[in-house]
Amino acid sequence: MTNQYAIVTTTTDSEDKARALAAGVVDGGLAACAQLYPIASVYRWEGKVESAREWRLDFKTRAALVDELTAFVVAKHDYDTPEVVAVPVTGGHTAYLDWVAEETRA
């Protein structure tokens, strides 16, 4: 398994927005699934330390789709600079990863 898969993470400021973004990504075949988590974030923005409640989304996808998934998230997102970070999957349950491949577009 040579990094054929990735987990792409982003955040947004409401559960409704997170669910809509997740549905759009999965419906479009850019990820097999998305997991949503309520989180608390502390970050520097425009020179000030800020804190906010956010929703984190983790998308399970194929590495070949990371760029297209990133472009989709950025286009649909309402943050000025949305977080989009891709982490390669270096191992895992073969049957699960096969499912990810089957549920994403080629």
- Say whether pLDDT at 30 is over 90: yes
Q: Which of 35, 41, 3 is nearest to 18 (CA)?
A: 35
Helix (H, G, I), strand (E, B) or coil at 52: strand
Using alpha carbons, select from 91, 94, 21 the residue that is nearest to residue 58.
21
- The mean pLDDT of 35-45, rounded to a whole number, is 97
CA distances from 100 to 6, 63, 90, 95, 105 (A): 10, 11, 14, 9, 10
Tokens of 21: 């973004």
Portion of the chain with pLDDT greater than 70, in percent: 98
pLDDT score, position 3 = 80
Confidence check: pLDDT of 21 > 70: yes
Q: Does residue 2 register a pLDDT over 80?
A: no
**Domain ranges across the chain:** 5-103
Cα torsion angle, 13, 58, 22, 76, sign: positive
Instruction: Specify the CATH number of the domain 5-103.
Output: 3.30.70.120
> Which of 57, 59, 64 has the alpha carbon at shortest distance from 10?
57
Q: Can you tell me the mean pLDDT for 57-67?
A: 98
Q: State how far the Cα of 48 lies from the Cα of 68, in Å rounded to an integer.
A: 32
